[in-house]
Amino acid sequence: MFRKYPASVRDRGVAAMLAFLEEEGIHPALLRDIQAFRDRHPLAEELRDRVPAPKFHYYGREVWENAAAALLRGKNLLLTGGKATGKNVLSENLAMAFGRPAWNVSFHVSVDAAALIGMDTFADGRVVFRPGPICQCAKFGGFGILDEINMARNEALAVLHSALDFRRCLDVSGYDRLPMEDGTRFIATMNYGYAGTRELNEALASRFVVLQMPAISPENLDRLLSRHFPALRKKPRQQLCQLFFELQAKCEAGEISTKALDLRGLLDALELMEAGIPAGAALDMGVTRKTFDRYEQDLIRDVMAARISPKLTRDQLFDR
Amino acid sequence: MSGPYSAQQRRALNQVWNAAGVYGFSPLFLSLDAAGRPDLYLNTIVGCVRKWYGEEEPAALFQSWAGDRRQALLDDLAWLVLESAAYARELPARPLLAELRRVHAEAFFDQEQTLSRQEWMAKNQLSYTMQAARWRAVLGRRPPVMTPYEKRLSAALDLGGSENPFPAILETFSRFHLFTGKTKPPPALRLRLTGRLAGMMTRLMPTEIVHTDVVDLGRASGAGEGGGPAADPRRAVLRLKEDAADRQYIESCFGPSLLPDRELGLAEQALCSGIHLGCRLWYTAGVPRPERTKNQEARRMAEQALLQAERNRAAFSADAALYQNAILRLTERIQNCLHVHGQVETETARRGRLDPSRVWRAAVLGDQRVFQREEPSNRPGFAVDLLLDASASRLHCQETVAAQGYILAESLARCGVPVRVSGFCSLRGYTVLRVLKDFGGRSRGVFRYFASGWNRDGLALRAAGALLEGPPDRRRVLLVLTDASPSDSRRIPPGGEYPLGRDYDGAPAVKDAAREVRALERRGVRVGAVFMGPAANVPAAESIYGRNLARIRSMDQLAAAAGTLLQNEIQELEG
C-alpha cells in the first residue's frame, strides 16, 4: 500500500523535473508559484525519502498546467482516463514537482475507513491507534495518491469527506480531531467504465476538480521513447509507437482485453531488447504474455508481426 | 463476409481491421490458407485497400462482375492489381510489409509441393500464371514462361501506388477481353428428383429441415369456425386420440416430463388459463427418444434433435479457442462486478474496530482477535435463469445459440453464480420448457439445444415463473433470448378480451408477453432480454421488456450482451 523512494534517485530527479517543466513550456508564472509553494512548505528531513522519484516524466503541457493550477489553488484532483494515459505518472510527477511526501493508497473493494484513517490494535497489552495513510498525509502535509478510487465502496470513502472539503480536517472516531496541514492535497485516479468499477457518488465527486486524461499522443510517445532510449533508431521507434496505438485501437474495439495495452510493458520490452534479447521474445515478455489467453496472444502477435520483425536484434534497433 | 466467424476467420478479420485502422466492418474478402490459417500478408493488404481506397469503390468494383462465369478469375486478377497498389502506398508507413510480401511469395511456391492433383485442377491457369509472375518478381526470380498475351496482362496488372486504380482495372479487363461490362452468368444446373432417388439424395446431401406444426395448424382453423372441440362429442373422441398422439410426439422429441402426471395436470390447471386456455405444458430435462415412437415424423425429428446436439458440440470444438477467450473475458467482467458490488461480511480479526463483547478474551485467554473487520463476500446473492427462444426462427443459428448459451453458463458457473439454461418453444399446442442445464448441472448440457415449432412467449414466461419458485432460495434474474415476435399455432380461445378468439400473434401476443413480464417483476424477479430480430420488432421488444433490453445484430454477441445486462442487474441487486 505504501511506496518508498530511494533518496539518491530523488535528489537527482528534483532538478531534472523542474528543468523538464521549463522545457515542456509550462507557463513561467505557474513555475514561479510552484517554487513559492515549495518554499512555503519546507520538507522535514525524515520525510525526504517519501517524495516520489518517478522514473518517467509526464508529457503534456496543457494537462500539467491545469493540474498544477488546481493544486496551487488548494483543490484536490481527480484524474480520469483509460489505461496507459499516465494517471499515476502524473500524480507522482506532481508530488515531486511540489516537493511533497506522497502516500499512495491502492483502492480495492476491501478498503474500508479503518484502512484509510487507521485502526485500533494491540501493543504492549493496550489498545492503541495505528494511523493510516490519510492521517499521515494530514499530519505531514503530504500528497495522498488515491489510486483507482472507484474500486472502493462509497461508504468506505465517506470518512474522507471532511478531509476533502472546506473543513480540511479528519475526525478520528474515539480519538482526536486532526486538522490538515496546509500543504496536504489529494490526487485520486479512476478508470471510468473499466469492467466492474462503480461510479463515484455525487458527494465525493463534488470534492474534486476533475481532469480528463487524454491518451498519450503519437508525438509525446515518440518523445518518451527517444528520451529513455536515446540510442533507439528512428524507424523502429516509429514502428513501436504505431504498434502501441494499434494495440490501443484493438482494445477500444473490444477485440482484446486491456492487459496487453501496457506502456510500462513496452518500455520494459525495449530495455530487454537493449540488453540483447531479440525483438519478438522481448515483446512477448513485456507485452504479449500480460494476457494469459492463447487466442488473445495470437491476435496481439499478429499486430506485432505486421510492424516489427521478431528477429530484429540489438544492433539493428540501437545505434552503438 | 459477415458474422458469425470461426476462430481463425476472426483472427483473419483482426488482421484486416488492424491494417485498415478501422474496426467493425465486414470485409469482402478474408484470406486463409489451405489449412484454414489466416494469411497475414494478404489480410494486411485487404485492410490496406480499405485504408487507402475506402469501402465503396472496391465493393462496387467486385460487384460489377458478381455472378459472371469468370468471377473467380476476375476477383483474383483484380486483387493482384490492388495488392501492388496498396503495397506501394502502405510501404513507407509499414516497412516490414516488404518482408511479409517476400515471405508470402516464398509460401506461394512452397505450396506447389503440397498441392494435390485435384487442387491443381481447380486452379485457373491464367490466374495461376499471373500470380506466379508477380511472386517470382517479388523474389527477384526470372518470370515464368508466358505467352505474349500473358506477358502484357502481367505488366498491366502492376499499377504501382495508383491513387485510383479502379478505372484502370476495368479498362485492363476490357482490353484483354476478360470482362466487357456485361456479366455472363454460368448456366444453372437444376435437378428435380422424386421417389427413391430423392430419398437417397436427401440422405447423402446436406439438407435443411424446417419444423412446422401442420397438424395443429389445420386443427386451429377448424376451431375458429365452429364452437370448439367440446361442442361435438365425436370430435371429443378424436381430440382424446390426438392428445395421446401429440403427447407421445412431444415426449419422443423432447424427453420425458420432469413432473409426474398429477403435478403436470395441476400446473396446467393453474397456468393454462385466460388466453392460454386449452394449451398444454411440458417441462422436461430429458433427451429425445426416437426409439420410443412409431410415428415416422416424430422419430425423424427426434433423430434430428440428437444430430443437432452433435453439430453444436462439433461447432464449439472447431472454434474452442475463440469461445474459451470469450468465457475468460466474460468471467472476468462478471467477477469484477461481483467483487465491487458484493455484500460485506463482518469477521473477527486481530485489528480493526474493537468488539467490546470480545475484550475479555484478550485479558483472560490472551486471544488478540477482539476486533471486527469488514470483508467483501464472495458469495453472490442471486441466481440466473437463461431462457432461450428455441422456436423455428432460430433454425439458421442453432450452433451459435448453443455456443453462446454455453459461454454464458460456464462464465457464470466459474463466478459461483447458480445458473440454469432452458429453451422454450411451442408445438402442437404444447409449450415446452426444456431445461438444458440445471443449477449444479454441467454447462455442456446447453449443447442439447435445438430449435423447432413456435413461441408462445406469454405462456413460456408464465411456465418459467413457476420454475423460479423452486430452489435455490436467492434473488432471481431471468434473462430471455427473444425476437419479440410471439406467435403460436394454437389460437386464443373465444372469451374475455377476444370474444371471437383470434390467432396468437401480433399486438395481443405482445401484450400478453408484456403482462407476464410485469407479473414476474411484481414477484421480485429481475427480467432482462437480449433481442435479436428485425428492426420492426424493436417497439414490441421495448413494450415487453422495458429498459432491460439489449439488442444484438448477430447471434455471436449474445453472451456479451447478456453479460452487460447481468452487470446492470448485479449493480442494482447488490450495490
Q: Does residue B364 sit at the A interface (CB-CB below 8 Å)?
A: no
Least confident of B74-83, B105-114, B289-298: B289-298
| Domain with residues A7-212, CATH architecture | 3-Layer(aba) Sandwich (3.40)
Say if A123 is an interface residue toward chain B (CB within 8 Å): no
The average confidence (pLDDT) of chain A is: 88
For range A188-194, the mean pLDDT: 78
Please tell me which residue of chain A has the smallest CA distance to B97.
Answer: A306
Upstream peptide bond of B472 is cis (omega within 30 degrees of 0):
yes
Bridge-based pairing of strands A177-179 and B371-376 is unpaired
Please judge whether A121 and B95 are an interchain contact, meaning their C-beta atoms are less than 8 angstroms apart: no
Cα separation, A90 vs A80, whole angstroms: 12
- Sign of the torsion formed by the C-alpha atoms of B406, B210, B393 and B277: negative
Tell how strand B382-389 and strand B344-349 pair up. unpaired
Here the cell at position B270 is 393453474
pLDDT tens-place string over residues A3-29 = 444 555 555 667 788 889 998 899 999
Round to the nearest angstrom and report the end-to-end CA distance of chain B.
42
| Spatial distance between the Cα atoms of B534 and B555, rounded to a whole number of angstroms | 13
Q: Which of B30-39, B341-350, B390-399 has the lowest mean pLDDT?
A: B341-350
Tell me which chain A residues have a C-beta less than 8 angstroms from the C-beta of B95.
235, 239
Please tell me which residue of chain A has the smallest CA distance to B47: A306
Residue A120 confidence class, pLDDT cut points 50, 70, 90:
confident
Look at residue B344 in the predicted model and tell me its pLDDT. Answer: 63
Residue type, A151: M
What whole-number distance in Å separates Cα of residue A172 and Cα of residue A160? 11
Of the segments B34-48, B234-248, B467-481, which one has the largest average pLDDT value?
A: B34-48
For residues A185 and B412, give the distance between their C-alpha atoms in angstroms, rounded to a whole number: 42
pLDDT of residue B215: 27
Is A289:A297 a contact under the CB 8 Å cutoff?
A: yes
The verdict on B442 touching A (C-beta cutoff 8 Å) is: no
Within 10 angstroms of residue B108's Cβ, the number of other Cβ atoms is: 17
Chain B interface includes A151 (CB < 8 A): yes
Cross-strand partners of A232 = A318
- Report which DSSP code applies to B32: B
- Cβ-defined contact of B340 to A151 (cutoff 8 Å): yes
**Mean pLDDT for chain B?**
83
Instruction: Examine the pLDDT at B523 and tell me if it is beyond 50.
Output: yes
A and B: number of Cβ contacts within 8 A: 118
Answer yes or no: is pLDDT of B426 > 60. Answer: yes
Alpha helices in B139-260 (DSSP H): 148-156, 166-175, 195-204, 214-225, 233-254
Is B44 in CB contact (< 8 Å) with chain A?
A: yes
Could you read off the pLDDT of B198-249 as tens digits, one per residue? 656 655 554 443 434 432 322 233 333 333 333 333 444 444 455 777 888 8
**Most confident range, picked from A268-272, B201-205, B561-565, B567-571:** A268-272
In this complex, do B332 and A197 lie within 8 Å of one another by their Cβ atoms? Answer: no
Would you call A114 and B7 a contact, using CB atoms and an 8 Å cutoff? Answer: no
Q: Report the alpha-carbon angle A208-A145-B354, nearest 5.
A: 95
Residue A136 predicted with pLDDT over 70: yes
pLDDT score recorded for residue B28 = 84
The pLDDT of residue B233 is: 39
CA distance B167 to B319: 40
What confidence tier does A67 reach under pLDDT thresholds 50, 70, 90?
very high
The grid coordinates of residue B459 equal 405462456
Lowest-confidence region among A241-245, B20-24, B348-352 = B348-352
Could you write out the DSSP letters of every residue in A108-133? Answer: -TT--HHHHHEEEEEETTEEEEEE-H
CB–CB contact A122 B362 (8 Å): yes
8 Å CB contact between A200 and A193: no
Q: Cell for B130?
A: 499471373
Residue A234 sits at the chain B interface (C-beta within 8 Å): no
DSSP, residue by residue, B300-363: HHHHHHHHHHHHHHHHHHHTHHHHHHHHHHHHHHHHHHHHHHPPEEEEEESSBEE-GGGHHHHH
Burial B128-145 (b: 16+ CB within 10 A, else e): ebbbbbbbbebeeeeeee
Contact B40 A302 (CB under 8 A): yes
**Which residues numbered 90-109 in A keep a CB inside 8 Å of some CB on B?**
109
Which amino acid, B331? Answer: T
Task: Tell me the three cell numbers of residue A258.
Answer: 486491456
B353·A308 Cβ contact <8 A:
no
Q: What is the DSSP letter of A194?
A: -
Binning chain A into helix, strand and coil, the percentages to the nearest 5 are 50, 15, 35
pLDDT at B250 over 50: yes
Interface predicted TM-score (ipTM): 0.82
Query: How far apart are the C-alpha atoms of B260 and B512, rounded to whole Å?
Result: 28
B273-331 pLDDT tens trace: 889 988 999 999 877 777 777 778 778 888 888 899 999 999 999 888 888 888 888 88
Reported as type and span, the H/E element at residue B531 is strand B526-531
Cis previous bond, B4, omega within 30 = yes
Say if residue B429's pLDDT is above 80.
yes
Which chain A residue has the Cα nearest residue B331? Answer: A195
What residues of B are in contact with residue A305 (Cβ under 8 Å)?
40, 96, 100
A259 contacts chain B (CB < 8 A): no
CA atoms within 13 A on the CB side of B299: 6
Closest CA to B214 of B305, B307, B297, B292: B297
Residue A305 has pLDDT above 90, yes or no: yes
| H-state helical runs in chain A | 7-24, 28-40, 61-72, 87-98, 113-117, 133-140, 154-157, 161-164, 202-205, 218-228, 234-252, 263-274, 279-286, 294-305, 314-317
**Which domains does chain B show, CATH number per domain?**
7-175 (no CATH), 296-333+380-574 (3.40.50.410), 347-376 (no CATH)
Containing B530, the helix (H) or strand (E) segment is: strand B526-531
End-to-end, the C-alpha distance of chain A in Å comes to: 41
Match 490519510 to its residue by C-alpha cell.
Answer: A134
Cell match 461510479: residue?
A199
Q: Decide which of A59 and B238 is more confident.
A: A59
Q: Which residues of B376-408 are buried (b: 16+ CB within 10 A; e: fewer)?
A: beeebebbbbbbbbbbbbbbebbbbbbbbbbbb
Identify the H or E element spanning A187. Answer: strand A185-190
Give residue for cell 540510442: A231
Residue partners of B186: CB distance under 8 A and separation at least 6:
B69
Nearest C-alpha of chain A: how many angstroms from B11? 6
